[in-house]
Structure 1
């Protein structure tokens, strides 16, 4: 997990460099905006819904409850603390550092995405279920379309936020050790 965290963190840091201090979208950003331009405002609002703070908080609380039910108190505490850490690092360190603007707001990496992906990553780690991975991926894709469609972010902001959130969660998460199999003899 630590290797994946390092790769994601490095990619998040590198992805923002070409756009630092600017407001101009890259070619991929422009193409993504064009791809979602046909969506109606109502559809785009629905797609961005999972990034709302009360939805993210509810998902975080679900992860904490699942951890507590499994008797994993450390993970329960981390389900709430690690996404907050990722959000704080994004808001107070990375956004000012990259200084990328859109509509008068710092946008790289996307704070909406960091909060959602941090909690979704925690849910995946807590549940370890393929269905949760699939639902998290679909939710992220929908939210990305919504964030770009609403004009809140460029696609690169969303990708950078995704990479950074995964990196922070994975580097902060305890490595599960396998329980030794009891001897029968």
Structure 2
């Protein structure tokens, strides 16, 4: 459990530090411009499809899936947290971090990406609930697609997405309970 808390602290610190150079409305950096150029050739239809994982109805469906999986496993506390923790991450992003960093794009605060925070928080919960490699791989693919879509649609810079990813992982890892130990029956 200590390793998870250390990972959470590192992700949180990196998210906070990554946004500093862009605070106060600074435009794109070199990496942001390179990422935008890399997806500029994608058609609007492809970019629209790539951003689909960040849509609220997709994120909500994934959250409900996490709750159902927890309830089926008899983990009521985790089921409640599967909903509460992503909401906490989203609220902290919108109410605290975005105004604090004050980074703008298209008349919208963008650092860290709220689209990304909502998706990654729910995906991180799903990974913790299932503990399956296939869920990790599918989550990574969904995040890569969403990243290309968010940058390609012009909603966010790459650094916004990376910051949102780091922050969401940090909040979930800090907030998720330690696995319960199952008592071993005595032999005598």
> TM exceeds 0.5?
yes
Aligned to 1:84: 87
Aligned to 1:102: 105
Q: Conserved in 2, the CA contact under 8 Å of 1:44 and 1:146? A: yes
Give ranges in structure 2 of 5+ residues lacking alignment.
none
Of 143, 149, 152 in structure 2, the residue corresponding to residue 149 of structure 1 is 152
How many Å separate the matches in 2 of 1:184 and 1:136? 42
Matched, 1:176 2:163: no
Which residues in structure 2 correspond to 1:1-185 (within 5 Å)?
A: 1-185=4-188
Q: Conserved in 2, the CA contact under 8 Å of 1:51 and 1:115? A: yes
Q: Conserved in 2, the CA contact under 8 Å of 1:101 and 1:107? A: yes
Structure 2 counterpart SS, 1:21: coil
CA RMSD, aligned part only?
Answer: 0.7
How many Å separate the matches in 1 of 2:22 and 2:116? 18
How many Å separate the matches in 2 of 1:183 and 1:52? 50
Runs of 4+ in 1 over 3 A off after TM superposition: none
Q: Conserved in 2, the CA contact under 8 Å of 1:110 and 1:160? A: yes
How many Å separate the matches in 2 of 1:30 and 1:174? 39
Q: Conserved in 2, the CA contact under 8 Å of 1:12 and 1:163? A: yes
How many Å separate the matches in 2 of 1:82 and 1:180? 28
Q: Conserved in 2, the CA contact under 8 Å of 1:90 and 1:109? A: yes
Q: Count residues in correspondence.
A: 185
